[in-house]
Structure 1
Amino acid sequence: MSTMTLFHSPLSPFVRKVMVVLHETGQLQRVTLQPVNITPVNGDEQLNQGNPIGKIPALRLEDGTVLHDSRVICEYLDLQHVGPALLPREGAARWRRMTLASQADAIMDAAVASRYESVLRPEEKRWDGWLNAQADKIRRSLANLEQEHLAQLASGFDLAAIGVACALGYLDLRQPQFGWRERQPGLAAWYAEVSQRPSMVATAPSA
């Protein structure tokens, strides 16, 4: 029985992250999906209720409270299920995994911002230097994942790993020419494996 409503756009990597968590924790049946179609200049009145910044994903709880930002929603869902936690509850391990999860979100932020700049902004107003800076952020982050964090990612499909997988999936969707697999073969091998998980297959976006 659904007791919550998720404001949902299947092409958003942040929404996908929440959907993967719902699948992984067995909570999908608790949520009704409410499709929304927004851009930075076109909002949704229903989404804005209790969520004045108009962000997706947003999760309306049974009592009407609205949670927004995928990190907040995922941590909430992690406290609502029976089974292993998707983030350590305390100690140094928690901060390490939260920082890795934040790095995954930063990749998504840069990729989404690049998408808006290159597709939604009028061509005569696009800023190539800004686009190049976003690409550099992504490249540095992926190189760091390859060099420093493959063992952590392979240790379990937790919130950090889910975030990285969704970020890579979004790059494949929106910037297939990015060529990250050639530069990060270890990350590519890890992603090839986790992308076969039922939660990833069920939430795979299509343009």
Structure 2
Amino acid sequence: MKLYYTNTSPFARIVRLAILELGIADRLEMAIADPWTEESGLYRVNPLEKVPALELDDGRILVDSLTIAEYLDRTLGGNRLLPVDPEGWVAERRLAALGHGITEAGVARLIERLRRPEPYRWAGWDARQKAKMVRTLDLLEGEAAGFAGTDPSLGRIALAAALGYMDFRFADDAWRDGRPRLAEWYEAMSARPAMQQTMPG
């Protein structure tokens, strides 16, 4: 299998974290592919021209970071990141989706700022996406006891990638302010070797 990624993609970081935490890095080939340049040839592999993209041994392509991470967990990881019981699955997948949603809103803001020509930028769009992030962070601050600890799981990985992306791209948002439990959890989670090895930049 072959994973296409970039070092700065928070979505790709979810998969890279999963690979490291599962200890399966030797089972995959890794290839950097910039989705913003045709020279990378990513569109030939993934018609959506997005990372991450996982090319399976039979040539099929999996897209979407949570889907890829779950597939790797099921096929190579022994179901260590996502519980198989329905209640555990719902709780973990919900946390992963919330973290993923924070990242989606952040990427939408970044594209508006960096990719759209300045005369066409819409401040209301940035404000709307930021509000989504703030509401979700506030929700997770109130639920922090439910995902306490740093044992790797799909939800914790997705949330850690989202918070790391906020530090990387939106440091001025000061997401830690007023969210001490979430900040404390992230500080502990960030100390994991996999987190250190996948810092964006």
TM over 0.5, shorter chain: yes
Shift, 1:84, TM fit:
5.5
2:114 equivalent among 115, 119, 124: 119
For the pair 1:76 / 2:71, whether they are aligned, the reply is yes
Shift, 1:150, TM fit:
3.4
2:157 equivalent among 158, 162, 166: 162
1:15 equivalent among 12, 15, 18: 12
Aligned positions of 1:126-205 closer than 5 A: 126-154=121-149, 156-205=151-200
Q: Which amino acid aligns with 1:21?
A: A
Cα distance in 2 for residues equivalent to 1:131 and 1:70: 24
Cα distance in 2 for residues equivalent to 1:132 and 1:153: 30
* Contact 1:15 1:56 (8 Å CA) reproduced: yes
Shift, 1:43, TM fit:
4.7
Partner of 2:57: 62
Partner of 1:90: 85
Partner of 1:47: 42
For the pair 1:37 / 2:62, whether they are aligned, the reply is no
* Contact 2:33 2:40 (8 Å CA) reproduced: no
Cα distance in 2 for residues equivalent to 1:52 and 1:173: 28
CA RMSD of aligned residues (A): 1.6
Secondary structure at 1:132 match in 2? helix
After alignment, is 134-143 or 119-128 more displaced?
119-128
Shift, 1:155, TM fit:
6.7
Cα distance in 2 for residues equivalent to 1:82 and 1:110: 29
Q: TM-score, normalising length from structure 1?
A: 0.91
Q: Which runs of 4+ in 1 moved over 6 A?
A: none
Q: Which amino acid aligns with 2:200?
A: P
After alignment, is 43-52 or 124-133 more displaced?
43-52
Secondary structure at 1:63 match in 2? coil
Shift, 1:114, TM fit:
0.4
Shift, 1:57, TM fit:
0.3
Aligned residues: 201
Q: TM-score, normalising length from structure 2?
A: 0.94
Q: Which amino acid aligns with 2:136?
A: S
Deviations along 1:100-155, one digit per CA (max 9) or x if unpaired, are 11111100000011000011111111110110010000000000000023332437
Cα distance in 1 for residues equivalent to 2:192 and 2:144: 20
Q: Which amino acid aligns with 1:199?
A: A
Q: In percent, how many aligned pairs have the same letter?
A: 37
Partner of 1:103: 98
Shift, 1:73, TM fit:
0.4
